Amino acid sequence: MMQAIAAAELGDDVLGDDPTVERLERTVAAILGMEAAILVPSGTMANQLAIRSACESGDEVICHRDSHVLHYETAAPAALSGCMTQPLEGEAGVFDAESVRRAVRPSDQHAPRSRMLVVENTVNRAGGTAWRREEFRAVASAARDLGLHVHVDGARLWNACIARGYAPGEFLAASADSASVCFSKGLGAPVGSALAGSRALIGRARRFRKMFGGAMRQSGLLAAAAIHALEHHVARLVEDHAHAMRLAAGLSGLPGIEVEPAPRGMRTNMVFLRVPGDAAEFCTRLAAQGVRMIPMGHGRVRAVTHLDVDAAGIERAIEAVRSIAGR
């Protein structure tokens, strides 16, 4: 990846002439089966550009109650787009078409205008749930029938694809109006995400990206890393999922540690633990042993496997938890 970065042909993407960024954007659009794509600094910006580009102030974004746009994007739908969010219930971050139909507001001057449905795949806070293609088709088609824009927060879309055995374009085909994807998570690039959608949507997003301060100049450096990640780091995600399974098995039964079951029976690259006492303190003690997990509030801890963690690292993590478990 460092060689790809060093060899990247560069221009100025704010002026629209960075050939490596153009190549990445064409590649991502083709993989996702969309007309166009745009490189952005973060997954948050990709989601927020989708909302800003597809919605108006006074609109409503419908999403699962555990979704990233609701919990971890600093109320940006309200702050940047004047949109409110309506949370849906559903096991493991998944909901059905009927919940979407019930959530959509009547066309009435008293009500916000329901305008967008966000489907996260995989669902981070739920433990990395991978949607089934048919489930997504059903909710997306219900949403579209009611005039909603369907946005997929695919920060970990490739993990879902590997776990469920569908291709990204196949999952999104004819059901999604836009999708965000990240190169900097399981795919292992240093920085970068993309938003894909129709040419018109991405044209609007390009303007708002500039407004949000996300237009970058010699960003071919980042695009080269992302292209390398797409070419070399997708098929290997299967290893991350196997490592997560091994981690979950190794941690099960340790005193005081409760491993949350794989969401809907299918593990991707995450393991959530319930730990006694303070989750942040638990993570600090682990970090002192060189193992990093993240507190997710109220006795809940998240471990994520990725390309920098090998099988030996998983065993080391299990031993580190064993050494502090029950203390």
Please choose, out of 41-49, 203-211, 232-240, 313-321, the segment that lies near ligand PLP by the rule CB under 6 A.
41-49
175 binds ligand PLP (CB under 6 A): no
Cβ 193 vs Cβ 40: under 8 Å: yes
In the DSSP assignment, the letter for residue 33 is T
Question: Which is nearer to ligand PLP, 175 or 184 (by Cβ)?
Answer: 184
Q: From the CB of 74, what's the least distance to ligand PLP, in Å?
A: 10
Q: From the CB of 72, what's the least distance to ligand PLP, in Å?
A: 7
Cβ 60 vs Cβ 114: under 8 Å: yes
Question: How many other C-beta atoms are found inside a 10 Å radius of the C-beta of residue 68?
Answer: 20
- Alpha-carbon span 267 to 176, nearest angstrom: 24
Residue 149's nearest CA partner among 209, 205, 217, 75 is 205
193 binds ligand PLP (CB under 6 A): yes
Contact pick of 13, 25, 120, 177 for ligand PLP (by CB under 6 A): 120
Q: From the CB of 73, what's the least distance to ligand PLP, in Å?
A: 7
Cβ 4 vs Cβ 188: under 8 Å: no
Please choose, out of 5-13, 42-50, 100-108, 314-322, the segment that lies near ligand PLP by the rule CB under 6 A.
42-50
Q: From the CB of 325, what's the least distance to ligand PLP, in Å?
A: 27
Kindly state the tokens that stand for 90. Answer: 């559903």
Question: Which is nearer to ligand PLP, 83 or 155 (by Cβ)?
Answer: 155
Contact pick of 124, 175, 219, 305 for ligand PLP (by CB under 6 A): 124
CB-side exposure of 118: number of CA atoms within 13 Å?
33
Q: From the CB of 310, what's the least distance to ligand PLP, in Å?
A: 22
Question: Which is nearer to ligand PLP, 127 or 220 (by Cβ)?
Answer: 127
**204 residue type, one letter:** R
27 binds ligand PLP (CB under 6 A): no
Contact pick of 13, 20, 44, 197 for ligand PLP (by CB under 6 A): 44
Q: From the CB of 326, what's the least distance to ligand PLP, in Å?
A: 30
Q: What phi-psi label fits residue 283: left (phi over 0), alpha (psi between -120 and 50 degrees) or beta?
A: alpha
The three-point CA angle 219-220-224 to 5° equals 125
The footprint of ligand PLP on this chain (CB under 6 A) covers a number of residues equal to 12
CB-based contacts of 15: which residues, under 8 Å, 6+ apart? none
Contact pick of 153, 172, 175, 225 for ligand PLP (by CB under 6 A): 153
CB-based contacts of 252: which residues, under 8 Å, 6+ apart? 259
Q: From the CB of 191, what's the least distance to ligand PLP, in Å?
A: 8
Question: How many other C-beta atoms are found inside a 10 Å radius of the C-beta of residue 112?
Answer: 15
Kindly state the tokens that stand for 110. Answer: 């008293």
Which residues of the shown chain bind ligand PLP in the complex (CB under 6 A)?
A: 42-44, 47, 68, 120, 124, 153, 155, 182, 184, 193
